Structure 1
Amino acid sequence: MARDPFCKSTTDCSQCPKVTEGICVYRKLSRGQHFPKDKCTQNCILLMIKGELLINSEEYPGTVLYDRQFILQAIGSKMELLALTEVEYICYWFNELPVVCPARYQEIIEQAEAPITYTPMVMNSQLQYLVTDLASYLDEQPPCGKFIELKCQELIFLIITYYPLPQLRAFFYPISSYTESFQYFIMQNYNKVKNVEEFAHLGGYTTTTFRRLFRNLYGIPVYEWILEKKREGILEDLQHTKMRITEISNRYGFDSLSHFAHFCKDSFGDTPRALRKKAANGEKIGKLPD
């Protein structure tokens, strides 16, 4: 749907920050254009406008996407693209969906299940009009970031409210399964690492991607979360186990007993031995107020 060429904004947007730069991308590919398989650093919804696009990923191996079809690829998945004809499509990259109807989305995620075979979704008329119009706005120089954010909210609203639940369970399954596996990895390994960089490396992530994934899942920076978990574990071990102070220090990755003692003084107001003695005498020990 072409926009009226005489309908132009009269506002100077050159000083407005591009808050959505790179989040919603409109692409035109010539026949034969190829994007080698690469790891997605964010979740991605790919919406076809025109042409035939060959995608190769774990969910969609050797699948040809046609006009009006759309798919979702979860962060961490690998995706390869090849234009079989002239192609136009939009990629919407996101960490968290701008959910307008959280109850509906929660229902979808809680009941998400892997399909026997992943099948591209097909745009209904409302979604097709939105995507076509969105392409026109994205083609402007520069597009209005705030307006695009609103359109992305509308996009997700149309997907989660205008399609039947069984389809949506399968469509959003890659996100739900990835979140669960990432959370499992965190809980299994947080007490084995000394810093964020080591944690990221252990999971095969870049530090930037790991920080972003973690904050989306837990809502706080990873370093703060690790420190809080260490404090909880140290208090538990000092009060309810007979582990030696040296063992506790090593368990939580401290380089020396002096470093461990300094951490305990900052966090709980006293040395590990003094805290254990207080606990043995029936005194309550805990984290100092912030």
Structure 2
Amino acid sequence: MDDVKTLSFKDHKSCIYYTAKEKNGFRKQTLTENESIEFHKEDCNLFLFAMDGDLIISDSENRMQLSAGTMSLCTSGDASICITSLNRAELLILKFKNLESLVLEYMLQKCTNEIVERAFTQTRIIEEMHRFLFSVDDYIRADIYCQHLHDLKIEEFFRLMAIFYPEESYTSFLAPLRTSNRMFRHQVLSNFHPLINVIELAEKCNMSVRNFSRRFTEEFGVSPGKWIADKRDGQILQSLSFHDAEMNAISEKFGFASSSHFTNYCKKKFNDTPNGLHQKLRSFFTPLDGKTSYYTDKKFNSFCLRPIKI
């Protein structure tokens, strides 16, 4: 533990779609006896496959031994983990940031047991999975880091687990990933701002637009485009309800090209001008401190053309 190294991965550009540090993909690490490596997870989930030797995996609160022939899932949590070899060891590492696999989603739906917050889970590597990992190792030895190929291998990994592992085995192993559903909602809410669009929000959540839209609709019950529009309209109305509301400042905040553009938008959306809305909304909102407001759902939504969620 005295000589801790930082694990850094080379960006092998075997094609224009090479796997980079921020993307999903497999890597290999060989450790000498008593060698320690600090791995910065960067909000990623890690699958660790012990191909040879014995290792200790630890974070600030948890510690687990990983022996040859076993694999571990380390869910995103602490910013880094420490990997220490007890003897010479070989380790394959799969960094997995987003959950876009349809097979994985199906498998997670099978996880009906109560979620237990665990940093690490562990299961054995069966023969069929060993053969798969040897093929991955062959690609790495050949310096093949094509992102498309790695994405296919990730999908193959989950398919093999669903086929060859008993349901009770893989559900126990993958159960901590279910907490990522909570993380998805948190990512959406924390990255939202009035000027963002669906493409930008998908990028913030590290997902393709197609998979983001599908996942979003499942989680929020509405398309991301409509949710963003409703959220933005709700914030506009909230801003207009403030006692010290300034129309020009609100217009700029929400990205309108001019005050007349803002006025036309309000007329179309809410059947009134910004100033008219300001006067009406003050009767629906109760000031908390002169600047911040809260509202009564029934009265406020009956005022709007359609319900607005703020």
Shorter-chain TM range is 0.5 to 0.7
Deviates more, 1:22-31 or 1:63-72: 22-31
Aligned to 2:248: 258
2-structure distance, mates of 1:116, 1:141: 34
Q: CA deviation at 1:88?
A: 0.8
Q: CA RMSD in A?
A: 4.5
* Residues 1:29 and 2:19 aligned together: no
Map 1:92-131 onto structure 2 (within 5 A).
92-97=94-99, 99=101, 101=103, 104-108=106-110, 111=113, 113-114=115-116, 119-131=121-133
* Residues 1:245 and 2:253 aligned together: no
Q: TM-score, normalised by structure 1?
A: 0.65
Aligned to 1:82: 84
2-structure distance, mates of 1:84, 1:68: 15
* Residues 1:16 and 2:15 aligned together: yes
Query: Identical aligned pairs, as a percentage?
Result: 15
Deviates more, 1:63-72 or 1:21-30: 21-30
**Number of aligned positions between the proteins:** 247
Which string of whole-angstrom CA distances, capped at 9 and with x for unpartnered residues, describes residues 187-226 of structure 1?
5x679x8999xxxxxxxxxxxxx92458899558xxx899
* Residues 1:56 and 2:58 aligned together: yes
Which string of whole-angstrom CA distances, capped at 9 and with x for unpartnered residues, describes residues 59-83 of structure 1?
8x33211112111112233411111
1-structure distance, mates of 2:130, 2:103: 21
Q: TM-score, normalised by structure 2?
A: 0.61
Aligned to 1:67: 68
Counterpart secondary structure, 2:242: helix
Aligned to 1:154: 156
Q: CA deviation at 1:96?
A: 2.5
Which string of whole-angstrom CA distances, capped at 9 and with x for unpartnered residues, describes residues 28-69 of structure 1?
11122212364443111111111111111368x332111121
Deviates more, 1:137-146 or 1:62-71: 137-146
Contact 1:40 / 1:74 at 8 angstroms: preserved in 2? no
2-structure distance, mates of 1:37, 1:147: 24
In the alignment, structure 2 segments of 5+ residues that lack a partner are 1-11, 197-202, 217-224, 268-272, 282-299
Contact 2:19 / 2:145 at 8 angstroms: preserved in 1? no
1-structure distance, mates of 2:90, 2:206: 29
Q: CA deviation at 1:182?
A: 5.7
Aligned to 2:287: none
Going from structure 1 to structure 2, the CA distance change for 1:155 and 1:37 (only over 3 Å counts) comes to closer
1-structure distance, mates of 2:207, 2:176: 17
Map 1:144-223 onto structure 2 (within 5 A).
144-181=146-183, 183=185, 187=189, 211-212=204-205, 219=213
Counterpart secondary structure, 1:153: helix
Counterpart secondary structure, 1:113: coil
Going from structure 1 to structure 2, the CA distance change for 1:218 and 1:124 (only over 3 Å counts) comes to same
1-structure distance, mates of 2:14, 2:169: 42
Q: CA deviation at 1:100?
A: 5.2
In the alignment, structure 1 segments of 5+ residues that lack a partner are 1-12, 197-209, 250-255
Contact 1:98 / 1:153 at 8 angstroms: preserved in 2? no
